Chains A and B, each alone.
Chain A
Amino acid sequence: MKTDEQKIIDDAVSQDYKYGFVTDVEQEKLPPGLDENTVRFISEKKGEPEWLLDYRLKAFSHWKTLTEPTWALVDYPEIDFQSISYYAAPKPKKKLDSLDEVDPEILDTYNKLGIPLDEQKMLANVAVDAVFDSVSIATTFREDLAKAGVIFCSFSEAVKDYPELVKQYLGSVVPHTDNFYAALNAAVFSDGSFVYIPKNTRCPMELSTYFRINASNTGQFERTLIVAEEGSYVSYLEGCTAPMRDENQLHAAVVELITLDNAEIKYSTVQNWYPGDKNGKGGIYNFVTKRGACRGENSKISWTQVETGSAVTWKYPSCILQGENSIGEFYSVAVTNNYQQADTGTKMIHIGKNTKSTIISKGISAGHGQQTYRGEVKIMKNAENSRNFSQCDSILIGDKCGAHTFPYIDVRNSTAQMEHEATTSNIGEDQLFYCNSRGLSTENAVSMIVNGFCKEVFKELPMEFAVEAQKLMEVTLEGSVG
């Protein structure tokens, strides 16, 4: 039995990262280093207006006063921010009019990744904005969306075409002073997606962004801004991959969501950045600030995340529940294998009356993985009758991994009702034995138990993503036995 177990664990651990190829396209890349000129260069390259450059410079000068946060339970060598290149883009051949003109190499990359960038795949009915290294490559389904009045474009285009909207909302949820990485992002962000859903509009299709880091030695700093006007609804998906490299690469994104009265945003992420090899070499540092503000009454923001990649993850998608009766949700599955480390969770800040939040977090730790759930639920003085339910469960697979749970619960209103529950355990021998006795191999049993464990979160994902997430879990953990 022991050797069997060992073999199965070894198999799981030796699973290759299948998105680890490099695309050979001509790159335009800034040499490593970060100073005011870098910021100016990025801004100029993108032909940005004066106010945005000012915003970047302000953020940069604030960033210089900050030090890297150390409170997270992750361990990585200090990052030299001067050795990173802050801008990389496929060299533009000429202005693109349609998808046909996108560098076939890049299209090929996305095909390999299974992204329906090609409009032929219209059946998939998903509008995609693909970000390659720092630059948005193509956005599909533009016209269909325009008919509904939905704006879905790259961030740089938004700055050119809808400066007023960007100006109004940029940094209003995650100000440039928020934290170390948010400040860095505000200074050097290169591109990202912008979504605007007008009043009383239900976005006719799922929107999706695909992020890909291709160039070596670069950081990716994208910025996503989604605004849902009164009575609107949008479901947004995000996926990410990167090639295998020995050095660590930094990804520091900022996502801001805003919902007004009766609006709803559903934000789903399947994060599969390169996690490093089985000795913990290489991989992406994923330091992301995601936050949504439920500004209006009855508004709702729902975060769903499946985190399987990255060497180090530091990510807390949060909701600020300002509007009365607003709802915040957080569903998460995080997997750490080999030497991956993840410190992830959420923050729910209840400000308005009758606000509700739900947190479901499932952590799976295997190999030498270390995983932390860190979440805060804060119920402010005026949040009458607010309600929170949190459940954080962890499964440990193998005796070298760790799972930690650090919830912070801060209640300042007596009418609030707040519940938190967490459990940590391994897969029970009796559970496995039972499955074995019903004719399931240990491998299938583990896969079934883990999938059952994650079901609550997977069911929140849009169909296509749920299938992908389930497959991803199988690849990452196939047959691991505790």
Chain B
Amino acid sequence: MSLTNFQNEFQKLLDRKYFSPELHPVRKDAFSKFEAIGFPTQKWENWRFTNLSALKENHYLISEVKDAPQKTPDISNYKIEDLQTIVIYNGHFQQDISSVPEGVQLLTGSEYNELKNNQLNHSEKSPFDLLNTAFMDSGVCLIVGKNTIVGTPVRILFISDGDSSIMVNPRLHIDIESGSLLTFIEEYVGNATSLFQNEAVYITIEKNSEVEHIRIQSSSENTHHMANLHVEQFEDSQYNFYQYEDGGKFSRNNIYVDLNGENSECRINCLSLSRGTQHLDNNIVVNHNCPHTDSSQIVKSVLFDKSTGVFNGRTVVQKDAQKIVAHQSNKNLLLSKSAKMNSNPQLEIYADDVKCSHGSTTGQLDDDALFYFQSRGIPKNEAFVLLVSGFVIEVMEKIKFEPIKNYIDKKMNTWIA
């Protein structure tokens, strides 16, 4: 999609009433910045292995009223026990089937903006952040007040269906005030024949709070998916992120975590499964801005057919941020001769009292292990599935909420089989 198309769509958006007009100044500012920067090219260091040409060729329209569901969408396929769901269909909030658990306050984008006195938290780290700010549609803002333990997890379910070529730019703000706990899930599903999904998620975790964030990306096979995740953590906070990804034709996740308070800790766990000509790309930056902070990244990929994968993980330890522990691990399993993986684990360290490490491996299944299974009477196919499951299981193992863990396990096993 060329820049002109975006300009046309942006003009259209400004005329539509259901895109809250009070956000227009922010949108215009972001869009003009986007116009000045343009799309990333492969000459940009962080985008060297990401080819955006397919995205630029397609033509996407903003989601109109006609793209909203004609009748209440059926979400029984995506049922998970014991949680509350918020449904966004093609960028349209579905009030009838949405609910939030006790202790969570749900606001729309414009309500949230008002609450923040027009000081909407927004990032300019990548052109897609700007694009999201310019086109943001389904705003979902969750606020958890002080000292609130939210017992029931909340899920935001994005369904994208239909034949029209649309783009959806969801905008999530999750604010967790001090001493609280929230488990929330983002899930992306649907059968859209042509979709550009460009979401931005901003999470602020205040003192003493904990967030368990699970992201399931199973978009349709024609989806171009761009995720921009920004997390800011304060003193004694804990952030656990689990990402399961098997959908989309092209997917890139830009994950930025800033550890801004002492004793804050973040654990990033990502699993990418790809086949066909899928391209799954994880770009993670963890900034240790404060002493006594702790981070880990575990990223695994399994690649079949002609699929390609990228891991760009960067751990930055700022000057004077002493007593840091940071580990990165990237393991990739190539299961076809034409699959391709780029792995760039990076450490950038400006303080001395640190323990940082990274490891990266890429290879295929161990022939000896396969042979051993067969020698014990287990057929090759089964042995193969067992070994691959064994490889991936570690990533999602630590999810605390059982039903979601089982849900992902089921998805994973179906995919591998």
A residues with CB within 8 A of B: 71, 381, 394, 396-426, 482
Known contacts A425-B354, A482-B352; A419 and B360 CB within 8 A of each other:
yes
Of the candidates B322, B343, B354, B362, which one forms a contact with A424 in the assembled complex, judged by CB atoms under 8 Å apart? B354
Of the candidates B351, B354, B360, which one forms a contact with A420 in the assembled complex, judged by CB atoms under 8 Å apart? B360
Bound CA–CA A262/B355 (angstroms)? 42
Bound CA–CA A426/B320 (angstroms)? 14
Is B23 among interface residues, defined by CB-CB distance under 8 A? no
Evaluate contact between A409 and B362: CB separation under 8 angstroms. yes
Q: Which A residues touch B362, using CB under 8 A?
A: 409, 411, 416-418
Evaluate contact between B357 and A424: CB separation under 8 angstroms. yes
Q: Which A residues touch B345, using CB under 8 A?
A: 405, 407, 420, 422
Of the candidates A398, A412, A424, which one forms a contact with B356 in the assembled complex, judged by CB atoms under 8 Å apart? A424
| CB interface residues, B 217-245, toward A, < 8 Å | none
Of the candidates A398, A415, A420, which one forms a contact with B361 in the assembled complex, judged by CB atoms under 8 Å apart? A420
Evaluate contact between A396 and B364: CB separation under 8 angstroms. no
9 more contacts with CB within 8 A, not counting A407-B346, A414-B339, A424-B357, are A409-B342, A411-B362, A418-B360, A419-B360, A420-B345, A420-B360, A422-B345, A422-B358, A426-B353
Evaluate contact between B340 and A418: CB separation under 8 angstroms. no
Closest to B336 in A: A414
Is B377 among interface residues, defined by CB-CB distance under 8 A? no
Evaluate contact between A410 and B342: CB separation under 8 angstroms. yes
CB distance from B314 to the nearest CB of A (A): 9
Closest to A410 in B: B342
Q: Which B residues touch A396, using CB under 8 A?
A: 349, 351-352, 354
Evaluate contact between A399 and B320: CB separation under 8 angstroms. yes
B interface bracket (residues with beta carbon within 8 Å of A): 35 or more
Bound CA–CA A423/B357 (angstroms)? 4
22 of the cross-chain contacts (CB-CB < 8 Å) are A399-B352, A402-B348, A403-B349, A406-B344, A410-B49, A410-B343, A411-B334, A411-B341, A411-B362, A413-B337, A415-B364, A417-B361, A417-B364, A418-B362, A420-B343, A420-B360, A421-B358, A423-B355, A424-B349, A424-B356, A426-B353, A482-B353
Known contacts A409-B344, A411-B332; A418 and B352 CB within 8 A of each other:
no
Evaluate contact between A404 and B337: CB separation under 8 angstroms. no
Closest to A417 in B: B363
CB distance from A441 to the nearest CB of B (A): 21
Is B335 among interface residues, defined by CB-CB distance under 8 A? yes
B residues with CB within 8 A of A: 45, 49, 319-320, 322, 332, 334-337, 339-364
Q: Which A residues touch B360, using CB under 8 A?
A: 407, 409, 418-421
Q: Which A residues touch B49, using CB under 8 A?
A: 410
Pick the 10 closest A-B CB pairs, nearest first: A414-B334, A396-B352, A409-B343, A423-B357, A420-B360, A405-B347, A424-B356, A402-B350, A417-B363, A411-B362
Known contacts A409-B343, A411-B362, A417-B363; A422 and B353 CB within 8 A of each other:
no
Q: Which B residues touch A415, using CB under 8 A?
A: 337, 364
CB distance from A360 to the nearest CB of B (A): 15
Q: Which A residues touch B335, using CB under 8 A?
A: 414
Closest to B327 in A: A423
Closest to A371 in B: B349
CB distance from B298 to the nearest CB of A (A): 15
Evaluate contact between A423 and B349: CB separation under 8 angstroms. no
Q: Which A residues touch B319, using CB under 8 A?
A: 400
Q: Which A residues touch B348, using CB under 8 A?
A: 402, 404, 406
Q: Which A residues touch B359, using CB under 8 A?
A: 419-422
Evaluate contact between B342 and A408: CB separation under 8 angstroms. yes
Of the candidates B342, B349, B351, B363, which one forms a contact with A416 in the assembled complex, judged by CB atoms under 8 Å apart? B363
Evaluate contact between A404 and B346: CB separation under 8 angstroms. yes
Evaluate contact between A399 and B353: CB separation under 8 angstroms. yes
Evaluate contact between B344 and A412: CB separation under 8 angstroms. no
Bound CA–CA A425/B327 (angstroms)? 12
Evaluate contact between B347 and A411: CB separation under 8 angstroms. no
Q: Which A residues touch B347, using CB under 8 A?
A: 403-406, 422, 424
Of the candidates A71, A402, A411, A482, which one forms a contact with B349 in the assembled complex, judged by CB atoms under 8 Å apart? A402
Known contacts A413-B337, A414-B339, A422-B359; A407 and B354 CB within 8 A of each other:
no
> Most A CB atoms within 10 A — which of B351, B354, B359, B360?
B360
Evaluate contact between A405 and B352: CB separation under 8 angstroms. no
Evaluate contact between A411 and B340: CB separation under 8 angstroms. yes
Closest to A402 in B: B350
CB distance from B339 to the nearest CB of A (A): 6
Of the candidates A394, A407, A417, which one forms a contact with B344 in the assembled complex, judged by CB atoms under 8 Å apart? A407
Closest to B335 in A: A414
Q: Which A residues touch B356, using CB under 8 A?
A: 423-425
Q: Which B residues touch A409, using CB under 8 A?
A: 341-344, 360, 362
Bound CA–CA A411/B361 (angstroms)? 10
Q: Which A residues touch B336, using CB under 8 A?
A: 414
Closest to B346 in A: A406
Of the candidates B334, B337, B342, B352, which one forms a contact with A398 in the assembled complex, judged by CB atoms under 8 Å apart? B352
Evaluate contact between A419 and B337: CB separation under 8 angstroms. no
